[in-house]
């Protein structure tokens, strides 16, 4: 059965998952594990925390399997769930940091952490707006590449267009998103944080 699942299309696995098929969940975990773990690790910088977030994402996916929108790419949903859990964990860490330190020290640390969390939150809000402003096809291509991790060849095959078209659309998308971020991200934000976040567009 595992061998058969490995050859299933993503949509078929999602249908099985919605029907309560646990092996389908295991196969989806196998397919997305590395990418989601790397995404969580990028922001938490803690392997154990990134692993916990990854596990929580798939527990939630199982618990709410009946509500999955099959018309949308599963990768986009999983990345959104991972991002939300990262933000929740970072907020919890900030609260714990305040409790563990003395009042004066915790206030100093908490200001730094809070600023970075707010920047991260604002960045994702601005980033989401920039992506949603893209034309329909360009937005789909951008999400497939940056959220689902699909190559230009895979996107071209999926959408039935040429690889060159995918490449041109990506160039235009990245230029627009970069320009949008430049116009909307506060220039007073710590440049190290900005550079870290803009690696999303690398």
Tokens of 56: 């929580």
Question: Can you give the pLDDT at residue 192?
Answer: 40
27, 59, 132, 149 from 119: Cα distances, Å: 35, 28, 20, 24
Residue whose tokens read 């934000």: 189
Rounded Cα–Cα distance for residues 120 and 197 (Å): 8
Question: Can you give the pLDDT at residue 47?
Answer: 94
Q: Among residues 126, 116, 118, which one has the least CA distance to residue 177?
A: 126
Question: Can you give the pLDDT at residue 13?
Answer: 93
Question: Can you give the pLDDT at residue 188?
Answer: 45
22, 54, 55, 169 from 58: Cα distances, Å: 11, 7, 5, 32
Question: Can you give the pLDDT at residue 154?
Answer: 87
Nearest 5°: phi and psi at 6? -65, -20
| Ranges in the chain, pLDDT < 70 | 1-3, 97, 99-120, 122-123, 185-202
Question: C-alpha angle with apex 126: 130 to 87, nearest 5 degrees?
Answer: 130
Q: Could you report the per-residue pLDDT of 119-153, keeping only the tens digit for each?
A: 667 667 777 888 888 998 888 888 888 778 888 89
Question: Can you give the pLDDT at residue 94?
Answer: 80
Residue 77: strand, helix, or coil: helix
End-to-end CA distance of the chain: 38
Tokens of 186: 């506060």
Segment (H or E) for 7: none
Judge contact between 169 and 137, C-beta under 8 A: yes
């Amino acid at each position: 059965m595992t061998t058969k699942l490995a050859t299933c299309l993503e949509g078929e696995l999602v249908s099985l998952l919605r029907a309560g098929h646990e092996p389908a969940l295991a196969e989806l975990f196998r397919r997305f594990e590395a990418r989601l773990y790397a995404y969580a690790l990028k922001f938490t910088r803690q392997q154990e925390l990134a692993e916990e977030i990854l596990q929580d994402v798939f527990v939630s996916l199982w618990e709410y399997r009946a509500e999955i929108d099959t018309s949308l790419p599963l990768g986009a949903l999983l990345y959104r769930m991972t991002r939300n859990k990262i933000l929740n964990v970072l907020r919890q860490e900030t609260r714990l940091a305040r409790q563990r330190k003395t009042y004066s020290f915790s206030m100093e640390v908490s200001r730094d952490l809070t600023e970075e969390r707010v920047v991260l939150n604002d960045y994702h809000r601005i980033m989401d707006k920039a992506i949603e402003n893209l034309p329909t096809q360009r937005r789909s291509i951008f999400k497939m590449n940056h959220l689902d991790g699909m190559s230009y060849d895979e996107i071209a095959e999926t959408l039935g267009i040429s690889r060159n078209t995918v490449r041109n659309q990506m160039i235009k998308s990245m230029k627009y998103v970069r320009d949008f971020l430049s116009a909307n991200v506060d220039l007073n934000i710590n440049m190290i944080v900005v550079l870290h976040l803009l690696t999303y567009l690398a």
